[in-house]
Structure 1
């Protein structure tokens, strides 16, 4: 098996082409992309491929502009008046997505989650709440929390790493960060972390409250077959990062059906698993960021250090909170 470099891992996660570095790739993707818009908001909220955009059934709430390459959600009353009420337009969106799910138009909706994700406007205002499984269709920014739990031992630092359940809709059987989860509409990052730690790893709140916030990780992912559903969907993401130094007697255990088990691995064992491509792409990206902050990956031992570090904070092209 070919070993992956750290830069390979970064490129697998942050793989939407950069305009300056990859002009031909960027041009090809850009020429085949549509923007997703909400009527009344001038900002582009996400990107989608032309094939996806043209597949959406159109009614009075939707407009496809092939000349300007835009799909616009325009919730309106029967008389054509625009609907500005937040809850009312989200109800229309929810019913529409449920309808196309039942018609089996997009495979990605087979992974329906009954979770709502927020979509923001240019003034940081909350514009929409969208079913989680639908967000890659529209290429909107999604948000989550990722925590790395580690233990200081006589043999050095060790990291708690779960293996994803084989029944997971996305990346089954791959390795993860200690705890990770998506941020629902109205949920604050640290509250999300506490909830996910209890659900996924059976970690008590009083322990998790010692977790240290370490900023964010942003990237622009183009989904592959392991992500489930259609290949090539756009997924820009922002992850809120936390570290938790854990006592030796704190042992995470699966609290739901998300993980098979948790393994306490040495740094070298984690690095080996990374090189073998056993981690979910964004989890590998995050672990590299963790290793940089903790002095495991340095300018002295990583030839692509500057490039790798610069890719931890991609500037996303869409409104964020």
Structure 2
């Protein structure tokens, strides 16, 4: 297998077409999808493959327009009146998705997490909460945290990288960032980081609180078979990134069966693993950002530097917080 360039790695994660690159390709791709909408909100909240939208069961809480290619959530009470209360419409959505899961219509729901992710509107308002495993079906923006734990040595920087458990539904056996996790509704990024660091890597909270917030990476991933479940699902994401300088005597340890082990790798070893396609796509994306911020990847040694930089910070076409 040919080695991947840094630009290849950026494309692996941010692979939905750009209108500015080719309007024809972008519009042809977009024609394969339905727009997920919420009644009363003009914005499109996500893209759904046509085969997914047309398989979704329709009841009084949903309407599908095959001409306009929209699937609209329109929660109703027992009398048929619109439900505008936030908690009530979330329970309606949760009950619906649970029923869909029980009918075994979509493979991706086999990874049911019992975690709810927020969906935001054009004014940054929280419109809905949705079961985590269902978010790719509707193509909504999700949020998470990724932390790179590194050690300064006489041989230069080294990075702690775990290998994902072989029984994980998504990207089994691939390499990951030191700590990563999804943001549940109502959770703050740094709170999530401290929780995930303890759960995934057995890192003490006092150490993790010294991590530096370093912005965010954004991308629009179209899922392939390695992601688990149906292919061509849209997964636009915002990942808040953190760096943690770790003392040499601290070794991350798996504690929740999410990882097989942790390896302390040199920068060259990390680069080689990335080029060989061993890292989960969004983790390679985060590492590209780390390399650029730390002067490892520069305009002098990377001819595609500006394009990579742009793809690591994509402007998403849906409402975000």
1:293 and 2:293 equivalent? yes
Pair 1:205-2:200 in alignment: no
Tell me if 1:3 matches 2:19: no
CA distance in 2, matches of 1:27, 1:189: 34
Secondary structure, aligned partner of 2:10 = helix
Partner of 2:105: 105
C-alpha separation in 2, matches of 1:16 and 1:263:
32
Partner of 1:239: 239
* Residue aligning to 1:23: 23
Give the match's secondary structure for 2:56: coil
Q: CA deviation at 1:20?
A: 1.8
1:80 is displaced (CA, Å) by 2.0
- Aligned residue number for residue 315 of structure 1: 315
In structure 2, what is the equivalent of residue 184 of structure 1?
184
Cα distance, 1:41 vs structure 2: 1.0
CA drift of 1:255 comes to: 1.2
Identify the residue that residue 74 of structure 1 maps to in structure 2.
Answer: 74
Deviations 1:295-317 (A, max 9, x none): 11111111111111111111111
Indicate the RMSD between aligned Cα atoms, in angstroms: 0.7
How many residues are treated as equivalent by the alignment? 321
Question: 1: distance between equivalents of 2:167 and 2:22?
Answer: 36
Q: What secondary structure sits across from 2:160 in the alignment? A: strand
Name the CA distance, whole Å, in 2 between partners of 1:22 and 1:171: 30
Q: Distance in 2 between the 1:28 and 1:165 partners?
A: 37
- Please give the secondary structure, in 2, of the residue aligned with 1:54: helix
Which deviations, in whole Å up to 9, do the C-alpha atoms of 1:26-62 show, x marking residues without a partner? Answer: 1221112111111111111111111111111100000
Matched, 1:163 2:163: yes
Moved over 2 A (4+): 22-25
CA-CA distance at 1:109 after TM superposition: 0.5
Alpha-carbon offset, residue 231 of structure 1: 0.4
Other-structure match for 1:84: 84
Deviation at 1:78, TM superposition (A): 2.7
- Structure 2, gaps ≥5 residues long: none
Residue number in structure 1 paired with 2:121: 121
- Cα deviation, 1:107-163, whole Å, max 9, x if unaligned, reads 110111111100011111111110000000000000000000000001110000000
**1:150 & 1:233 partners in 2: Cα distance?**
33
Partner of 1:148: 148
When structure 1 is superposed on structure 2, of 296-305 and 138-147 the one drifting more is 296-305
1:176-218 deviation line (CA, Å, top 9, x unaligned): 0000000000000000000000000000000000000000100
Task: Indicate the larger mover: 16-25 or 284-293.
Answer: 16-25
SS of the counterpart of 1:311?
Answer: helix
- The answer to whether the aligner puts 1:35 opposite 2:35 as a matched pair is yes
Matched, 1:279 2:274: no
CA-CA distance at 1:24 after TM superposition? 3.1
> 2: distance between equivalents of 1:25 and 1:90?
36
Q: For 1:121 and 1:285, locate their aligned partners in 2 and report how far apart those are by CA, in whole Å.
A: 26
Q: What is aligned with 1:48?
A: 48
SS of 2:158 mapped into structure 1: strand
